[in-house]
Amino acid sequence: MRSGFDAAHRNAPDIAAICEAEGASAVAIHWRTREDKYGGERAVDKIAEAKARLKIPVLGNGDIVDVESALRMFRETGCDGVLIGRGAVRNPWLLRQVSDALAGRPITVVNAAEQRRVMFTYFDDLIRRFNRPAGAIGRMKMFAGYFSKQLPHGDALRPRLQRAETVEALYEHALAYFERLDRHEAGDEAAFEAYLPPERPARGELSAEQAV
Ligand SMILES: Cc1cc2nc3c(=O)[nH]c(=O)nc-3n(C[C@H](O)[C@H](O)[C@H](O)COP(=O)(O)O)c2cc1C
């Protein structure tokens, strides 16, 4: 559930208590109100309040995008667990990485081969599930839009995939990208040289003009 309908009606703890009395075995609460839609200012107090009142597990949700934001939710609310939505579509290993952090293990690092495996497994599954290639292409582009956000130079891959008109073209672009990423991982500094748009410097790097 969301924390309430709007800022004046943030009644999630009451609703959660009713759920518990009616036999729910756990509740998940998103810090946004319904009126916040995808905006609003982060306020996790109602998750903390519900946790303090209820005996059943309370799960915190909303904008958990990395290990730090997951730990922050635990820290600030005392919740028993977290739900991760968009963050896990972007980085499917985030769930394991959060578990690593909670268990005090080193955080799992994912290499190009593993990223490639997951991307193509997902693509292959979509092809099998959709009868028409047009349906599969739409979903592949949606997933790739999220997934490419955590890939090195993913900003350059994304428009290539978005422009692809066939499943074959999509696979070709993805394969060409991962070949470069493999070379990049092996230490080839020039692996992405001809790949990035010359007029737009890669994120975090200064262009010659900005640097002077
Ligand atoms: C793939 C995906 C599809 C979603 N579709 C909807 C939707 O149709 N309607 C909606 O109100 N929220 C939708 N959501 C948002 C979720 O209900 C939820 O509010 C959100 O994922 C909160 O967790 P997050 O901040 O970790 O993403 C979607 C989320 C994801 C990841």
Residue 47's CATH number? 3.20.20.70
pLDDT value, residue 203:
62
Indicate if ligand 1 lies below 6 Å from the C-beta of 33. Answer: no
Range of the domain at 83: 12-103
Does 124 lie in the same domain as 81? Answer: no
- Kindly indicate the confidence band of residue 133, based on its pLDDT and cuts at 50, 70 and 90: confident
Surface-to-core class of residue 39, CB atoms within 10 Å of its CB (0-12 exposed, 13-18 middle, 19+ buried): exposed
Q: How far is the CA of 13 from the centre of ligand 1 (A)?
A: 21
Number of domains forming the structure of the chain: 2
Helix 67-77 and helix 45-53: axis angle, to 10°? Answer: 50
Closest Cα to atom 9 of ligand 1: 37
pLDDT in tens, 23-54: 999 999 999 999 999 999 999 999 999 999 99
Residue 5 falls inside a structural domain: no
Residue 62 has pLDDT above 50, yes or no: yes
Residue 193 falls inside a structural domain: no
Q: How does the average pLDDT of the chain come out, rounded? A: 93
- Measured CA to CA in angstroms, residue 112 lies from 152, 185, 193 at distances of 9, 7, 18
Residue 199 has pLDDT above 70, yes or no: no
pLDDT in tens, 134-177: 889 999 999 999 999 999 999 999 999 999 999 999 999 999 99
Residue 181 falls inside a structural domain: yes
Residue 205 has pLDDT above 90, yes or no: no
Indicate if ligand 1 lies below 6 Å from the C-beta of 34. Answer: no
119 residue type, one letter: M
Indicate if ligand 1 lies below 6 Å from the C-beta of 85. Answer: yes
Closest C-alpha among 97, 94, 93, 92 to residue 107: 97
- What average pLDDT does range 94-122 have in this prediction? 96
